[in-house]
A and B are shown apart, each in its own frame.
Chain A
Amino acid sequence: MDAGQAPTPIAGVGASAGGIEALQGFFQGMPRNPGVAFVVVTHLSPERKSLLSDILRTYTEMPVHVASDGMRVEANNVYVLPADAVLSIQNHALLLRKRSSTRREPKPIDIFFSALALDLGERAIGVVLSGGDGDGTLGVKAIKARGGLTLAQVPDGHGPRHPDMPESAISTGLVDFAVPAAAMGERIVEFVHSTNMMDGLAADSQVMHQDEAMVGARREIYAILRNQIGHDFGGYKTNTFMRRVQRRMQVNQLDSLEGYLEQLRQDPQEVGALFRDLLINVTSFFRDEDAFTRLAEEVIPKLFEGRGAEDTVRVWVPGCATGEEVFSLGILMREQLDRVQAAPRVQLFATDIDEHALGVARAGRYPAAMLEGVSEERRRRFFVPDGASYVLSKEVRELCIFSPHSVIRDPPFSRMDLISCRNLLIYFGADVQNQVIPTFHYALRPDGYLFLGTSENISNFGDLFASIDKKQRIFRRRPEMNGAARLPLSISGIRPGYVGGDVRRPNLSGMALRQVAEAQVLERFAPAYVVVNHEGDVVFYSGRTGKYLEPAPGAPSRQILAMARKGLRLDLRTVLREAQEGGRSITRDGVAVEGDGGRVQIVSVTAEPLRDREDGGALYIVLFTDEGPTLSREEAAGRANFAQDGTALQLDRELRDTRERLQSLIEEYETALEELKSSNEELVSVNEELQSTNEELEASKEELQSVNEELHTVNTELNAKIEGLDRANNDLQNLFNSTEIATIFLDRDLKIRSFTPAVSAVFNILPSDRGRPITDLSQRFDLPSFNQDLNEVLTSGKSLERQINQEGEQVNYLLRMSPYVSSIDRPQGLVVTVVDVTNLTRSETRQRILIAELQHRTRNLLGVVQSIARQTLDGDERSDVFIQRLAALGRVQSLIGHATQQSINLEDIVRAELQALGSAGDGRMTLAGPVVPLNLEHVQITALVLHELATNALKYGALKQPEGKLRVDWTIRQSEEGSSLLLHWRESGVPITEQPKRRGYGRELIEQALAYSLNARTELNFGPDGVVCVIEIPLTASPMAVLEER
C-alpha cells in the first residue's frame, strides 16, 4: 500500500459459541477484494489447538493467516487469533501476548476492538457475531466513539445460535447495522467506499448551518424525533447535533440532507438509530485530570468534615453511561476514606437512561486500553488484572449503586453532598439546562457541591451556585435567596415553545399607605393567628402567638399540633379537621389554655380556609381570640363550676380524665410513628443492600454464562472429534473385515484384546474368548514353539516370521508376530497375523518344475543341434569348432540351471571352461581371485569369450606347450565411475608366435563381443612369451549387492 493512500480499514470480527456458522455466512457473503483486512477474534480455550484457520480457508478465497506478533495487517487478508493468546493492534501491526493462565480471556473482543479503535479511528470496523455474553459491547462503544463502523448479527440461516453477544451490542444503540451475517460484507464494502466521501461532507457542513433551508430540515428532524421517540433535541447544540446527523447520512450513503430527511420519514428504525447516535457519551477514567485533582483536594475533604461513622456522604452522578466517571469518583472517595478515622458511609448513586450501559458499568470490567487516565499506583490499588482486562476492586465497586433514571423526566434525588455531572449538559440546549441546573440545586444539601465538565457552566444561575473553581467548574450551592424553593420543574419544561424563566415573587416595595396602616392595625389589635397548610405545618405566624404555641421538644418543627400549648391541642385538631373537611369556618369557644406559671386563659379557636388561593395546596388561618383576662387554675375551675351543677362537675372530671388518656395515646402514637419512620429508613438501606447483592449475582450470572459457553464450545469440538474417531474406527473395522488376514491383538499377558473375523479359520476362537490367554486356545496349525516365540517377540521387541506347512492338510500359513508399539518404548502387546500362503506355495512349486523343464528342453535342443551339425558337416574341419562352441553354450546353460541366485561365480565359469578342455587338473594353470558373482546376462558372453581364449591356448599357446603356463587372475577395481572386474589372462613359456594375420571369428568374439554387450574393454596382445589378454568389465550395482548380502 502506498504511503500517500489512506490506510487499509480493518474489520475486527468477534464471535463465540455458534460462531463458525456465523463466520461462514460472513465470509461467504463477502464480495471479492473488499479492500478491508479482517481480524477474527473468538472465545477459545487455550488448551485446544484451533482448526479455525483451516475451516475459514474453505469459506473464503482470501489468504487466511494465524496471527503472529508483529504481523502487518494487509487488505484482503484474514487473520485469526490463535487459541492461547490475546490480540491487540498498534500502527497497523498485530500485537500478540501469550497468556500464562489456563483460563481464557473473558473479553478478548473488547480488548481487540478498543485497541483497533485507538489505532484506526474512523477506519475501524467492529463486527459482533454469535456469542453468549456481553463481550464486544465496550469494544463497539470504543469504535463508535472514534467514529468507526459497527455491525452486529441478527438472525437468518447462519444463526446466531447464541444471540446474547450481538444483542448486547445492539442494545447499546451504538451499532450502525444490525443485519444477518451474510449481508455484512456488502455493508462493509459500501462503508469503505463512502469513507472517502467524508471529507467532502465535513466541508459542506459549514454551509449547511447557515442555509435557511437546512434550518428547516433540522427542525423537521427534531419534530420527527419528538413524535417518534418522545425526546426533544431542540435544545441540543446545533453543531453536535449535525455532526451526528452527518454520521448517519454516511452510514446510509446519502449525500443530501433532504434525502436523509426522506429516509427518516419513511423508516422509523433510522429515527431510533439517530436517537442512539445522539446519546453517545464518551467518557474515560479521570477525564480532565486537573479537574479531578482539584476536586480531590478542595471538595472531597470538606464532604467528610464533621461526619462520623453514623453519617452518610451521598454523591449523585447523573448520566453515568458505562461508569468511568462514577468509578473515578469512587476511587477518590476510597482514597479519602483511607485518610479519615471513623469514616462515614459513602454512597454514589449513578444513573443513566441507558440500561445496557448500566449493565456494562455494573460489571466494572474494562479493557486495558480504556484505562489510560489511571495512574500506575491507582491501577495497582483499585484494579484487579484479569487477563487483558481490569476489574474494579470490590472496595470501590461496593460504594456505587447504579439505577436507570432520567435527569430530565424523573424526580431528582435529594440530600446530596456532591453532584458530578460531567459532559452531559453539553448535549442539552439552554432550556433543558435551565431546567436541570435548578434540579441540581434542589437535590443538593445546603453547601453541597456541583462538579461539571470543563466545557459546561451554570449559565445564568449565579444566584443558585457560587463558583469555587472557575476553570475546573466546581460550584457550591448557595442557600436559597428568597422563600420560594426552586422545586424541580415538571416535564412541561420541555414542551416546545416553553420559555424557561426565573419565577420570582412580585416585589413588595410599592405598598400603599393604607396597606401600611392596615398592617399596623392588624399587628396591634387583631387576634393572634397562624397560617397552616393541609398537613398542619405553619407557613406563617402573626405576632404574639407565644401564648398559644410553644416550640415542641426535639428537632425544630413547624407542626402546629406539636407546638400547641397544653389544653389547646385537642380542640385545635378538631377545628382544623372540620375546617379542612367542610371547607368553612369552624370556631370552638371556651378552650382553656394553660400558660406559663400555671395561669389559664380561656380562648376561642377559629379555623378558616384562606381564600383567593390560585394554585398550590389549600392554606388555613387559625385564629386565637382571648375570652377575658388570664385566670388562676382555681378561678378557672370555679368559673366552670359556677355555670354548671354537680352532674356537670362529674362529667367534667370524667372528660378531663379522658382527655389525659387521649393525650397519652396521642403521644404513644407519635412515638410509634417515629419508630415506623426509622424502620422505613432501615428498609430503604436493606433495599439498597439487596440491590447491590443483585448486581453481584448478575455479575456471577455473566461469568457462569461465559463458562457455559466455553463448555458448549468444548462440547462441540469434542463431538466433532468423536465423529472423526467413529469414522476412523469404522474404516479400521471394514479394513479388518475385508482383508481376510487373520489378525489377533494380544496384551502383555498374551490375553486376547481383539481379533478379525478371519482368525476363526486358524484358531478355534469365539467372540467370548476376548480376555482369555491365547495359549488356552487350540490352533489349527502345528507350531510347537508358538508360545516361546510370542514371549521372545515380547522381550526383544523384534518381529518374527514362521512359515508353517501342514503336511496332512496341504495348507501353508505365514505366521508373523510383531510387537504392538504405542508411544511408549516397551511393547504394549503383540500383533499376530496369520496369512494363508497355500496358493503362493503351490505357485512357487509349479514355477520350480517349469524352470527345470525349460532347462531340460534347452539342453536337449542343444544336443539335437549338435547331432544335426555333426551329421550335416560330417568330416568338415570346422564342425569340431562349431561343436565345441555349442558345448560351451551347453555348459553355460547348465551353470545357469544350477544357479540358485540370479548370478554365477566367475571362478565356476573359468574352471568349467578349462575343465572341458581336460587341462584343469595339471599344475600348469593357476586361478586366483575373489568371489565375483556375475549377472546371468553377463555369463553367456563371458563364457564364450573364455572358451575362445582357452581353445586358442590349447591349439597354439600355453596349453599346447609342455612348459607353457597359464595364469588367470581377477580383481575388483573401484574407481570413480563405479566398480569393475579386471581379469588378466596370461600365457607364458610360449615361443614367439606371429600375430595371426586373419582376424577370425574367435578373435572378433574376444575383442568385440564383450565391448558390445557389456561396455567392456578388451586388450589382446601376442607377447614374446605368449598371449596376454586383459578384460575389464564394468559391474552394475546388482552383483555387488548380491555380494554384500552373502
Chain B
Amino acid sequence: MMPMETALQGRRILVVEDDFLIALSMCETLKGAGATVLGPVGRIKDAVRFVQDRAGDFDEAVLDLDLHGQRSYPVADALVEAGRGFVFTTGFDMVSISKEYAMHPCCSKPVSTSALIVALCALSGVCEPGLGNGELPPG
C-alpha cells in the first residue's frame, strides 16, 4: 500500500473552487499527499483561460461543479479539449451532473481526503487497487 504522503508525488494538480475556505483546505490536503498545487482559481472565465494558456503546467484538475452559482461545464470542456483528466467536487447530489459529463469521476462535499486522492490516482493510472476505501463515485 502506497503511503498517503507520497500518493501524488510529482503530480501537478489544478484546483478550481470558488469557496476560499474549502479551496484553502483542499490545497493543503493535496500538498500533504505530495502534489504540486496550482491555483486555486475561483471563476469560470479565469479557469477556462488558465486551462487554455497553461495546460502544460498541470496533469490533473479538481473542479467544483458549482462556481458562483453557475455550472462549471465550460471549464470541463476546456479540460477535455486540453486532454487533462479531472475530478468533479460538488455539494449537490451527484445526479445533478448533466448526462454528457456523467462519465467523469465525482466526489461529493465535504470531500474525503482519501476519496479525492484515489480518484486522482485513478486518473493518472498509477493507482494501486486496495488503496481506496470504496468511496469511488458510482459514475
Contacts and interface: CB of A to CB of B under 8 A. Distances in A.
Given A937-B68, A937-B69, A1013 B19 contact: yes
18 contacts: A937-B68, A937-B69, A941-B20, A944-B21, A1004-B24, A1005-B20, A1005-B21, A1008-B20, A1009-B20, A1009-B21, A1012-B20, A1012-B23, A1012-B40, A1012-B42, A1013-B18, A1013-B19, A1013-B20, A1013-B42
Nearest to B17: A1012
Contacts of B18: 1013
Interface string A236-264: 00000000000000000000000000000
Interface in A75-90: none
A41 B106 CA distance: 74
Contacts of A1013: 18-20, 42
A632 B63 CA distance: 165
Nearest to A1008: B20
Interface in B60-85: 68-69
Interface in A937-956: 937, 941, 944
B70 to A, nearest CB: 12
A1012 B39 CA distance: 11
Contacts of A941: 20
B84 to A, nearest CB: 23
Contacts, number: 18
B24 to A, nearest CB: 7
B134 to A, nearest CB: 24
Interface residues of B, number: 10
A140 to B, nearest CB: 71
Interface string A418-446: 00000000000000000000000000000
B30 to A, nearest CB: 17
Contacts of B40: 1012
Interface in B13-50: 18-21, 23-24, 40, 42
A1007 to B, nearest CB: 11
Contacts of A937: 68-69
A788 to B, nearest CB: 45
A941 B68 CA distance: 13
A941 B23 CA distance: 13
Contacts of B42: 1012-1013
Contacts of A1009: 20-21
Nearest to B40: A1012
Contacts of B24: 1004
B77 to A, nearest CB: 24
Interface in A999-1031: 1004-1005, 1008-1009, 1012-1013
A1012 B42 CA distance: 7
Nearest to B23: A1012
B66 to A, nearest CB: 11
Given A1008-B20, A1009-B20, A1013-B42, 15 more contacts: A937-B68, A937-B69, A941-B20, A944-B21, A1004-B24, A1005-B20, A1005-B21, A1009-B21, A1012-B20, A1012-B23, A1012-B40, A1012-B42, A1013-B18, A1013-B19, A1013-B20
Contacts of B23: 1012
A873 B21 CA distance: 21
Contacts of A1004: 24
A1013 B40 CA distance: 11
Interface string A501-545: 000000000000000000000000000000000000000000000
Contacts of B19: 1013
Interface string A971-1013: 0000000000000000000000000000000001100110011
A1012 B69 CA distance: 15
Nearest to A1011: B20
Contacts of A944: 21
Nearest to A1015: B43
A948 to B, nearest CB: 12
Nearest to B21: A1009
Contacts of A1012: 20, 23, 40, 42
A1022 B59 CA distance: 41
Most chain B CB neighbours (cut-off 10 Å) among A1005, A1008, A1012 = A1012
Closest 4 pairs (CB-CB, A-B): A1009-B20, A1012-B20, A1013-B20, A1012-B42
Nearest to B69: A937
Nearest to A944: B21
B68 to A, nearest CB: 7
Contacts of A1005: 20-21
Most chain A CB neighbours (cut-off 10 Å) among B19, B21, B24, B40 = B21
Interface string A926-968: 0000000000010001001000000000000000000000000
A1013 B21 CA distance: 10
A1009 B21 CA distance: 7
A160 B106 CA distance: 76
B91 to A, nearest CB: 13
Contacts of B20: 941, 1005, 1008-1009, 1012-1013
A1014 to B, nearest CB: 9
A1005 B69 CA distance: 22
Nearest to A1004: B24
A900 B76 CA distance: 36
A1013 B69 CA distance: 12
Nearest to B68: A937
B18 to A, nearest CB: 7
Interface string A204-246: 0000000000000000000000000000000000000000000
A1008 B27 CA distance: 15
Contacts of B21: 944, 1005, 1009
A1008 B19 CA distance: 12
Contacts of B68: 937
A336 to B, nearest CB: 98
A658 to B, nearest CB: 138
A209 B40 CA distance: 103
Nearest to A1012: B20
B130 to A, nearest CB: 29
A1008 B24 CA distance: 10
Interface in A369-387: none
Nearest to A1013: B20
B96 to A, nearest CB: 17
A444 B64 CA distance: 117
A1005 B20 CA distance: 8
Most chain A CB neighbours (cut-off 10 Å) among B19, B20, B42 = B20
Contacts of B69: 937
A941 B20 CA distance: 9
Nearest to B43: A1015
B115 to A, nearest CB: 20
A289 B23 CA distance: 106
A89 B121 CA distance: 85
A1005 B24 CA distance: 10
B55 to A, nearest CB: 23
A47 B20 CA distance: 73
Contacts of A1008: 20
A73 to B, nearest CB: 55
Nearest to B19: A1013
Interface string A29-64: 000000000000000000000000000000000000
A1013 B23 CA distance: 11
A1012 to B, nearest CB: 4
A337 B93 CA distance: 111
A1004 B28 CA distance: 14
A944 B18 CA distance: 16
A1012 B20 CA distance: 6
Most chain B CB neighbours (cut-off 10 Å) among A937, A941, A1013 = A1013
B72 to A, nearest CB: 16
A1008 B40 CA distance: 12
A278 B20 CA distance: 102
Interface string A717-734: 000000000000000000
A1012 B24 CA distance: 11
A1005 B22 CA distance: 12
A932 to B, nearest CB: 20
